[in-house]
Homo-oligomer: A and B are copies of this chain.
Amino acid sequence: MNPDPDYSAAYVVIRTDAPDGHEGHGFAFTIGRGNEVQKAAIDALRPMLIGLPLAETLDDMGSFWRRLVHDSHLRWLGPEKGVMHMAISAVVNAMWDLKAKRAGKPLWKLLADLTPEQIVDLVDFRYISDVLTPDDALDILRRSDAGKAEREERLRARGYPAYTTTPGWLGYTDEKLVQRCEDAVNQGFSQIKLKVGGDLEQDRRRLELARSTCGPAIRIAVDANQRWDVPTAIRWINALAPYEPWWIEEPTSPDDVLGHAAIAEAIAPIRVATGEHVPNRIVFKQLLQAGAVSFVQIDAARVAGVNENIAILLLAAKFGIPVCPHAGGVGLCELVQHLAMFDYVAVSAELDDRVIEYVDHLHEHFVDPVVVRGGHYLAPTMPGFSAAMKPETITAYTYPDGSAWQDIRHDRV
């Protein structure tokens, strides 16, 4: 589905006149063309930020989020989906980066230190209150309040489990697939993921190779990137059943709640995962209501940032469904680790079957890159949301004047 990605980001820097000099960084990740559309959408939000009183705004991030998401004019362009929602994500996340830097804490810790009441204030329950009320959310958070300190300690000591997509890209030779599977196991990963959906016979062969290389103890998830219609998905996945895929990810359109439910029923006990393209908490709510997913794959920068992801973590906790974040791209690993760690310490209080995706791409551009050791993300310690790219990266890759662009011949209109 994404044959020629050109990883890009519409990058936001929020500056203030506070003497601390902190900046908030955030971004909307894109795969190339259209990055300028994200930039235009972020620019449309600019008037809503300029001149805001800093401390009051950061103290009431729930209201800030609502002001952006429910702006009646901009809402028309969604509502709550696509370009405009991703732009809000970039801005909201940048504000959280700023807030965490000012607090001197990594974001996961800042969130985990909030009271249940403060967390509930961050969440907009509009359109989800039929399934999750503020009282439900308080119950979940208060229940998890016990044991927070122990979980934080465990997290700092052992990190958060990861899985790797590195072995599984389409187009690898068998040798490369086997080599990368061996590497993954040797590096301590207990789960890998393979892309599927191009050709059934090849998928079978690749899964068989991966299974025989990794052994029966390693979980092998497969990912179709929305390639199938419902009947094809059911047929194809059932044909892969002998290789015991741990989950099938994005079997069809992210908008198709009923389609996912039909697939889940027809392929059980294989389980369905989705979320990286699910537009908002309202669709996640329904995927959970319909029993359509067994894993919720939040993305840090598609729904409207930290606040909406907290709503989704709470929805998943209500249904007892594990959250296994999507990552990769540019900086998505850096962001989403904070949300998963907050989930563990303060929301679901669980690690069973929870894993964060890991892709070993582009981390060298970040000031506070993820650290993955022994198949685990280590808990970030630097204040902020780990969103900031290095100044030299920003200078070199800013379009069109950055040095990295100067060698590229632009022959498209």
Contacts and interface: CB of A to CB of B under 8 A. Distances in A.
Interface in A80-94: 80-86
Interface in A1-52: 1-6, 30-34, 36-41, 43-44, 46-47, 50
Contact of A126 (B32, B229, B257): B229
A255 B229 contact: no
A85 B82 contact: yes
Interface residues on A, range: 35 or more
A409 interface: no
A34 B229 contact: no
A224 interface: no
Interface stretch (A197-205, A275-283, A353-361, A382-390): A275-283
Contacts of A319: none
A33 B73 contact: yes
A53 to B, nearest CB: 17
B262 A286 contact: no
A229 B6 CA distance: 40
B80 A255 contact: yes
A130 to B, nearest CB: 4
- Summarize A's interface: helix, strand, loop or mixed: loop
B77 A37 contact: yes
Contacts of A289: 258
A127 interface: yes
A393 interface: no
Contacts of A37: 37, 40-41, 44, 77, 83-84
A226 interface: yes
Nearest to A79: B277
With most chain B CB atoms within 10 A of its CB, the pick from A36, A86, A253 is A253
Interface string A274-306: 000101101101100110000000000000000
A-B pairs, top 9 by smallest CB distance, nearest first, are: A82-B82, A40-B40, A83-B83, A130-B230, A33-B73, A127-B253, A47-B413, A32-B73, A255-B282
13 contacts: A5-B72, A31-B72, A36-B40, A46-B413, A78-B82, A80-B253, A81-B279, A82-B83, A83-B84, A255-B286, A257-B286, A258-B289, A259-B286
Given A130-B259, A259-B282, 8 more contacts: A2-B72, A4-B73, A32-B73, A78-B81, A79-B253, A130-B229, A255-B279, A256-B282
Interface of A: 1-6, 30-34, 36-41, 43-44, 46-47, 50, 71-86, 125-130, 226, 229-231, 252-259, 262, 277, 279-280, 282-283, 285-286, 289-290, 412-413
